[in-house]
A and B are shown apart, each in its own frame.
Chain A
Amino acid sequence: MRTSVQELIAKSKDKKSKKIIEKLIPVLLFLIASVSVLTTIGIVLTLIIETVTFFTRVPLSEFILGTTWLPFANSGAQFGIWPLIVGTLKITGIAIVVAVPIGISAAIYLSEYASDNVRRVVKPILEVLAGVPTIVYGFFALTFVTPVLQSFFPDIKIFNAISPGIVVGIMIIPMIASLSEDAMSSVPKSIRDGALAMGSTKFEVAWKITVPAALSGIIASVVLGLSRAIGETMIVSLAAGSTPKFDGDFTGSIQTMTAYIVQVSKGDAGYGTTIYYSIYAVGFTLFLFTMAMNILAGYMSKRFREEY
């Protein structure tokens, strides 16, 4: 006996196992999709719980207001976060000074001046630069940039803030360049053509038309770069030293929040010691800093986006 296609379809629709699969799969996939949400919750909860334990031993006021970070002292250990924040800001400051002019210039060059051929060559190379592991940058800072700086300025110590700052800057150039270039490329060609037809030079178009129109995207790229620089760990762990300092010295050893976490993790701070809990308090502070930057960047690119 031959069954018609219609019957075949009806039969296959009746299969119970298939119905169950169709019901089960969305549930399963929802569970998988919630892993990313659980990760965020996990991060926030672990940081908060361990940080609270830390504050049962060290007063909150000392942590927030203190300007001495001396966790390894045998007696009278002090946990004032400011030296680590100052160290982080030194690195971030230098990185931004290096990366913003170069990154935005490169973005303007790529979006306004470069031919398609040049763009096809330069953009993949920038991608390579973005894909270099940070440990490699750290090695580069320690074994190349620092000695070069020392040959010009003999005052600079082996561990200092300048060399890793510059290299963190190099690391975030591709990010700032490519995000800014995206923002500039999305400015419609008609506006540019209009300005060119009125007799503007390319520089005038870039400076008076493209950059102002893409400003929100450019600022967002800088803020994201800032966030990356704050969270950068290996370059500073290798090249910036491990001396938390509350001063304006750039030529000697400093310590950032991330480098402190690495220093403790490398050593044998036993589970349950105050030092063990302190890395969570520092990690929480770091998390808040980068979170604020990321939210700001998202806000900037949404709030001030001009629609064409």
Chain B
Amino acid sequence: MRYIEQEKVVRRMNGRMVVNRVFQGLFMFATALALLALVILLYRIVSQGAGHLSIDFLTNFASRFPDQAGIKAALVGSIWLMAVVAPTSILLGVGSAIYLEEYAKKGRITTFIQMNISNLAGVPSVVFGLLGLTIFVRALALGNSILAAGFTMSLLILPVIIVAAQEAIRSVPGELRDASYGMGATKWQTIVRIILPAAIPGILTGSILALSRAIGETAPLIVVGIPVIIQFLPEGVMDTFTALPMQIYDWSSRPQAEFQTVAAAGIIVLMVVLLFMNSIAVFIRNKFDKSY
């Protein structure tokens, strides 16, 4: 008795292969479509904004007149913002990761903190803005300052940094740790002198990627009440400021068509900053990626 009907299999073979080909084409087409979206997006922005890019654009303040509008205040503001966000978020993120990976006992509290972190990562950024508005701007009376916005952004990207730092610490092999203890080092000495140096490339890569998210975020800044039109540069963390995405948002939402060109030029500046940060991250990953 034959289990396989040879004829039936042969008859259906061609059809099955055609179906396979058709769907392969469809799946490929869908993937190409996603990539095409990125190409069109980048092409549109560069072709629209490149004409407006100049040294003047980088060194002028915002203006009512599109041809004089510059991005100086926003660019400097974004750098100030990062100067607050980077130390705050990396300190909190790495500290939390060390606690969770090295000190915390696996139990209910650790599971709870871990679950809380992944849930926090899913909270919309605009809700973080409401938190910042209530706590930092009003309750702590920091006003529309770099500090208030910086703390808000730090909390927003905190979950990303914690998870990245945890993975980096986890990937440090156990032998290094054991060797350090074997030499009589204490736990903290082992962490500071052995584990952190080994984990630092991973931590930095993750942190830079998280920071590049913070530099492009707009919604929390709007909710916190960061102004757009600013004709001076901040001199300290308690000064008010504006940032690249805020400035781009303002230009994009103006009705005059000329301002769309200015907005596109602003987006090019933002994308170049992002590209720069991402290149550093990739460079660190490749340069220091040790395999044990």
Interface residues of chain A, those whose CB is within 8 Å of chain B, are 9, 12, 18, 21-22, 25-26, 28-30, 32-37, 39-40, 42-43, 46-47, 50, 101-103, 105-106, 108-110, 112-114, 122, 125-126, 128-129, 131-140, 142-144, 170, 173-174, 177, 199, 201-204, 206-207, 224, 227, 230-234, 237-238, 258, 261-262, 265-266, 271, 279-280, 283, 286-287, 290-291, 293-295, 298
Contact = CB atoms under 8 A, between A and B. Distances in A.
A126 B34 CA distance: 8
B187 interface: yes
18 contacts: A43-B127, A101-B30, A105-B30, A106-B30, A131-B213, A131-B274, A134-B216, A135-B245, A136-B41, A139-B252, A142-B252, A144-B44, A203-B20, A203-B24, A231-B123, A234-B249, A291-B123, A295-B119
B130 A47 contact: yes
B217 to A, nearest CB: 7
A46 B155 CA distance: 15
Contacts of A280: 130
Given A36-B162, A113-B28, A143-B48, A233 B248 contact: no
B249 A136 contact: no
Interface residues of B, number: 85
Contacts of A125: 35, 38
Contacts, number: 248
B180 interface: no
Nearest to B225: A265
B230 interface: no
Contacts of A32: 91-92, 95-96, 99
Contact of A234 (B23, B41, B209, B218): B218
B20 A202 contact: yes
Nearest to A132: B41
B159 interface: yes
Given A133-B245, A203-B20, A290 B188 contact: no
Contacts of A265: 129, 133, 222-223, 225
A112 B119 CA distance: 31
Chain B contact residues: helix, strand, loop or mixed: helix
Interface in B125-142: 125-131, 133-135, 138
A286 B249 contact: no
Contacts of B138: 271
A283 B252 contact: no
A110 B159 CA distance: 28
A298 B111 CA distance: 14
B120 interface: yes
B28 A139 contact: no
Contacts of B123: 43, 231, 287, 290-291
Interface of B: 9, 16-17, 19-20, 23-24, 26-31, 33-35, 37-38, 40-41, 44-45, 48, 91-92, 95-96, 98-100, 103-104, 112-113, 116-120, 122-131, 133-135, 138, 155, 158-159, 162, 184, 186-188, 209, 212-213, 215-219, 222-223, 225, 245, 248-249, 252-253, 260, 263-264, 267, 270-271, 274, 278
A21 B127 CA distance: 38
B124 A230 contact: yes
A286 B19 contact: no
Given A35-B96, A106-B31, A283 B126 contact: yes
Contacts of A207: 23
Given A135-B249, A231-B126, A122 B131 contact: no
Given A22-B186, A291-B119, A286 B127 contact: yes
B92 A102 contact: no
A209 to B, nearest CB: 14
Contacts of A132: 38, 41, 216, 271
A133 B217 contact: yes
B212 A50 contact: no
